[in-house]
Amino acid sequence: MKLIGDSQGLEELKRIKEENLFYLKFIMNEAKSNTDNITTFKDKTGRQKYKLSYDPAGDSFTVTALG
């Protein structure tokens, strides 16, 4: 499994991993199980929103900043 994309979004996922591993697993499973393979999450402040996309063919996640 690979994580690629927006560097700030990747840093936010690392922070989530350290603070709440259950939530990280939840958003990753949400992206895998949605019909469009996409979910969103926000940074710690709630101001910046990110899109987490899952590519089943490459078994990779891509983080994109929104807004």
Res. 59: pLDDT tops 90: yes
The amino acid that residue 54 corresponds to is Y
In which order are the strands placed within the sheet that holds 38-42?
2-5, 60-66, 49-55, 38-42
Residue-wise pLDDT for 26-57, tens only, equals 999 999 999 999 999 999 999 999 999 999 99
What domain range includes position 30?
A: 2-66
Q: How many domains does one find in the chain?
A: 1
What percentage of the chain reaches a pLDDT higher than 90?
97
pTM of the shown model:
0.90
Res. 21: pLDDT tops 90: yes
Res. 1: pLDDT tops 90: no
Q: What is the mean pLDDT of the chain?
A: 95
From the number of C-beta atoms within 10 Å of its C-beta (0-12, 13-18, 19+), residue 61 rates as buried
